[in-house]
Amino acid sequence: MRQTNTLGEALETLKLIWRHREGFKFGGRQINQLKLFKWQVDLENKIPAAVLDTIDVLYPEGKPRPLLTKKNRIATGWHMIFTLQPGVTFSGILRQTEFFSDACRAHVSIELKGGFIHMTVHDAKVETYYPYLWDPTPYLEKMDLPIPIGYGPTGQLKVIDLADLPHMRVGGTTFTGKSNFLHNLFISLAKLPYVRLAVIDLALLEFSYSRGFAAFATETITALRLLTALEKEMHRRRQVLEAVGVEKIQEYHSLMGEESKYDLPYIILLIDEFAFMNPDSTPETGEKEIRRQCQSICANLAALARKVGIHLILAMQRPDMKILPGQLKANLPGALSFKTIDDVNSQIILDNNAAANLPDIKGRAIWQVGNRQQEVQVMHLPLKKARMILNQLRGVRDSGEWINYEAKRLPPSKSSRKASKTL
């Protein structure tokens, strides 16, 4: 009988002997078929076993505990359903998510559905590199603002509709891929002819290539002017929608026809580094006031602008509670976090430690909406390629600034509208 070296080989051999019902040797020892079969089953059940062990530790014997009623192997890992016993609460289990993640060495999401606890353990592996390749066309039938987030464990590209989301927060320490993602986002949105972009680049993240295509500010004083113009535009749009008796920009577009997407385009505001708007990090009174106003307009836009088609993406390296207070965070429901330097930073962005435990892979991040999360690998878009794509878009689009925030003129001129439609 042959000697096996690896686990894979051992399992292959198992299949063979199962058919022929003979004993065989593994590592020099005679293993009986039944033992090996049990070993395979144990391996398969490693995750549910880790979850049950964690429950044993968290809910000592004799005390009420969640009871496993169903487990299924799914493409991305395991899905388990638990019944809630009297004395066990959903929020109590949710608070223990980190323990389950640690025990399974995988991301765990927990939800309450129909009175049952649904736990999903994502133990599938994510590939380490994907180049930027993005065509929004197949998504436009169902989505207004499709954006690619990254590839998940199944090798599927996670695409979301920013129009539904409606705002996002992006975190992660330096050199992990945050800027790359923002360029992904910018270029992907620039491909949509009924989108206008605004960038506040306080971190000087090389967004200067977007000048003339997007409204652009690199200092807090110009950022304040830009934000003020956007806030006015938000109020103007609310009146426009009110006048025709609709509540949301989508209803306006469907009532007034495709053409109206160019009269009332979506506006996406991208801010990096949002923490530079913290008034407490400057001693100058004048600058403090500018930052305070910037922050307050951002909070207003996050709370009120989604229905009128203005969407925010706020990126930050080291957020704190002052820069991302609970209310603002609640209004930015989509979160993408690259690796953070510690649990505290991960907690601020995601409300859990998942981003601190990410592997050291550039472009690897956690995508989270509510308590659903998944690990993704963001596509790599080198700056040179971003510049090249934008230059091609400039060729078919009006390259004049669509928003003259100094003069507070909005929305884009007729000429830019005509040019956009040819894209």
- Which positions from 369 to 388 touch ligand ATP by CB under 6 A, shown as an x/- string? ---------x-x--------
Residue 179 Cβ vs ligand ATP, minimum distance, rounded to whole Å: 3
Binding segment for ligand ATP among 2-10, 37-45, 178-186, 413-421 (CB under 6 A)?
178-186
Residue 169 Cβ vs ligand ATP, minimum distance, rounded to whole Å: 15
Number of Cβ atoms within 10 Å of the Cβ of 139? 18
Which neighbouring-strand residues pair with 71? Answer: 80
Binding status of residue 178 toward ligand ATP by CB under 6 A: yes
User: Among residue numbers 201 through 220, which ones bind ligand ATP (CB under 6 A)?
Assistant: 205
Q: Tell me if 175 is assigned to a ligand binding site.
A: yes
DSSP per-residue letters across 170-189: EE--TTSSHHHHHHHHHHHH
Site size toward ligand ATP, by CB under 6 A: 15
Q: What is the spatial order of strands in the sheet that 372-377 belongs to?
A: 157-161, 146-151, 372-377, 364-369, 334-338, 168-171, 310-316, 266-272, 195-201, 215-217
Of 65 and 339, nearer to ligand ATP (C-beta) is 339
Q: Tell me if 400 is assigned to a ligand binding site.
A: no
**1 neighbors 33 (Cβ within 8 angstroms):** no
Q: Tell me if 177 is assigned to a ligand binding site.
A: yes
What backbone torsions phi and psi does residue 387 show, to the nearest 5 degrees? -60, -45
CA-CA distances (angstroms) from residue 404 to 77, 314, 390? 50, 22, 20
- Which positions from 127 to 166 touch ligand ATP by CB under 6 A, shown as an x/- string? --x-------------------------------------
Ramachandran bin of 267, using left for φ above 0, alpha for ψ from -120 to 50, beta for the remaining angles: beta
Binding status of residue 177 toward ligand ATP by CB under 6 A: yes
Longest dimension (CA), the chain: 86
Query: Which segments of 186-289 are extended strands (E)?
Result: 195-201, 215-217, 266-272
Residue 380 Cβ vs ligand ATP, minimum distance, rounded to whole Å: 3
Residue 320 Cβ vs ligand ATP, minimum distance, rounded to whole Å: 17
What's at 48, amino acid-wise?
A: P
How far apart CA 319 and CA 313 sit, in angstroms, is 14
**Which residue in the block uniquely carries the two structure tokens 């400039």?**
394
User: Among residue numbers 348 through 367, which ones bind ligand ATP (CB under 6 A)?
Assistant: 362-363
Residue 11 structure tokens: 């399992």
Residue 178 Cβ vs ligand ATP, minimum distance, rounded to whole Å: 4
Q: In the Cβ-directed half-sphere of 340, how many Cα atoms lie within 13 Å? A: 26
Q: In the Cβ-directed half-sphere of 11, how many Cα atoms lie within 13 Å? A: 9
Binding status of residue 416 toward ligand ATP by CB under 6 A: no
Among 7, 138, 175, 388, contact with ligand ATP (rule: CB under 6 A): 175
Binding status of residue 174 toward ligand ATP by CB under 6 A: yes
Q: Tell me if 208 is assigned to a ligand binding site.
A: no
Those residues with Cβ within 8 angstroms of residue 55's Cβ, 6 or more apart along the chain or in another chain: 65, 66, 68
User: Among residue numbers 74 through 113, which ones bind ligand ATP (CB under 6 A)?
Assistant: none
Residue 182 Cβ vs ligand ATP, minimum distance, rounded to whole Å: 8
Residue 381 Cβ vs ligand ATP, minimum distance, rounded to whole Å: 8
Residues annotated in the binding site for ATP, as ranges?
A: 172-179
- Residue numbers of the site for ligand ATP (CB under 6 A)? 129, 172, 174-180, 205, 317, 362-363, 378, 380
